[in-house]
Amino acid sequence: MIIPFLDLKKINQAYEQGLNEKLHSVIDSGWFIMGQQLSTFEKNYAKFNDTKHCIGVGNGLDALILSLKALNIGAGDEVIVPSNTYIASWLAVSYVGATIIPVEPNIETYNIDINLIEEKITSKTKAIMPVNLYGQACELTKIMAIAEKHKLFVVEDNAQAQGATCKGKLAGSFGQINGTSFYPGKNLGALGDAGAITTNDDELTSKVKTLRNYGSQVKYYNEVKGYNSRLDELQAAFLDLKLEKLATENYQRVEIANTYLHKLTNEGDIILPKLAQDCTSNYHLFVIRTNRRNDLQKFLQEKGIGTVIHYPVPPHKQEAYADLNFKPTDFPLASLIADTCLSLPIYPGMESNQIDYICDTIKTFYA
């Protein structure tokens, strides 16, 4: 049996007829940037995410950069970010010229450890950027309370957790302004690059709408030095179609995760993912940990099962961040996760015999 880590072809083929109809309606409209498709999707995603506004942008990284820009965060300011994240979270802080203050994860949830945040707050701290990693919402109510106490902004990196919740409230709706990504491999994936900002704040909405479009609200009149980061009509139309099934697809992922959790309990030295109290996951990824990670990955590969490491090198060890002079030993938990984590296949449309095969193969490895 061959089971790819992610079958984007299969996922999108399920929408083929609808996607074709959307393509033709966009061609027929003759309008390709900032039109009706975008405003419809923005309205529907805001509704899905339970925020007043959604502002489509070019990708998830831009969503975070423009969010920080809209809050006037820049040189001299400090932003608290997790040490265990995809490098995009760090890059957004770097691009606005602010200083990255990494905080280690909780070793059970892999998300930022809320007990380590306050000791990193200084007079220069302007914001906390929690990352809802692997699809699990961070302990966002507690993070919001810390932020309120110290008068800090919260900017959620919600690229991976569309639909996850903390105490029943949606990830991406806690921070003053939040970014998400519709990169093809995300739970709501475009057929190209796309991202969005979610917020309840009218003024921040107006700022990012200006920033994403060359700093202009009225064509050829530029108030600020903006960017070109727009979500185009075609991707917006595709996303709006796929959004209808996002909740169902997230539920399918949860079901697969529950099967893994059930079948892999007490298997070898495997550490299964754990949820923080009152937090849910959309299971964007199903990440296990084992000291025999490389051998297990190789074994599964030989048996036709694709897996991926999220992520093999934490940001503080990346060559790109050599200038910050972190020591490799600085964030041991981020390093431990990088050295032991392995993501198993999880996506809508996976058959139960495929999940059984994966679990049986893992049992064979440990037997």
Ligand X SMILES: *Cc1c(COP(=O)(O)O)cnc(C)c1O
Which residues contact ligand X (rule: CB under 6 A)?
A: 59-61, 85-86, 88-89, 131, 157, 159-160, 181, 183, 193, 195
Please report how close the Cβ of residue 186 comes to ligand X at its closest, in angstroms.
Answer: 6
Q: Which of 279, 273, 267 minimizes the C-alpha distance to 346?
A: 273
Q: In this structure, what are the phi and psi dihedrals at residue 224, rounded to the nearest 5 degrees?
A: -135, 165
Q: How many helices (H) and strands (E) does the chain have?
A: 12, 13
The HSE-up count of residue 330 (CA atoms within 13 Å, CB side) is 17
For ligand X, give the closer residue by CB, 249 or 270: 249
Please report how close the Cβ of residue 193 comes to ligand X at its closest, in angstroms.
Answer: 6
Please report how close the Cβ of residue 328 comes to ligand X at its closest, in angstroms.
Answer: 22
Please report how close the Cβ of residue 17 comes to ligand X at its closest, in angstroms.
Answer: 26
For ligand X, give the closer residue by CB, 190 or 204: 190
Please report how close the Cβ of residue 86 comes to ligand X at its closest, in angstroms.
Answer: 4
- Residue reference for tokens 């600085």: 330
Kindly state the tokens that stand for 205: 């909405």
User: Cis link prior to 227 (omega < 30° from 0)?
Assistant: no
Q: Which of 111, 49, 121 minimizes the C-alpha distance to 86?
A: 111
Please report how close the Cβ of residue 348 comes to ligand X at its closest, in angstroms.
Answer: 18
For 240, 304, 354, the CA distances from 246, given in Å and listed in that order, are 10, 28, 22
For ligand X, give the closer residue by CB, 158 or 361: 158
How many other C-beta atoms are found inside a 10 Å radius of the C-beta of residue 325?
8
Please report how close the Cβ of residue 312 comes to ligand X at its closest, in angstroms.
Answer: 14
For ligand X, give the closer residue by CB, 233 or 365: 233
Please report how close the Cβ of residue 302 comes to ligand X at its closest, in angstroms.
Answer: 28
For ligand X, give the closer residue by CB, 270 or 342: 342
Kindly state the tokens that stand for 178: 């939040």
How many other C-beta atoms are found inside a 10 Å radius of the C-beta of residue 196?
31
Question: Could you give the CA distance from residue 263 to residue 353 in angstroms, rounded to a whole number?
Answer: 13
Burial of 258 (0-12, 13-18, 19+ CB in 10 A): exposed
Nearest residue to ligand X on Cβ basis: 60
Kindly state the tokens that stand for 92: 């957004």
Q: Which of 365, 38, 6, 364 minimizes the C-alpha distance to 185?
A: 6
Question: Could you give the CA distance from residue 86 to residue 38 in angstroms, rounded to a whole number?
Answer: 27
DSSP state of 320: G
Kindly state the tokens that stand for 177: 């302004």
Please report how close the Cβ of residue 95 comes to ligand X at its closest, in angstroms.
Answer: 12
Please report how close the Cβ of residue 223 comes to ligand X at its closest, in angstroms.
Answer: 26
Question: Could you give the CA distance from residue 124 to residue 84 in angstroms, rounded to a whole number?
Answer: 22
Q: Are 37 and 233 in contact (CB under 8 A)?
A: yes
How would you classify the pairing of strands 99-103 and 153-154? Answer: unpaired
For ligand X, give the closer residue by CB, 84 or 205: 84
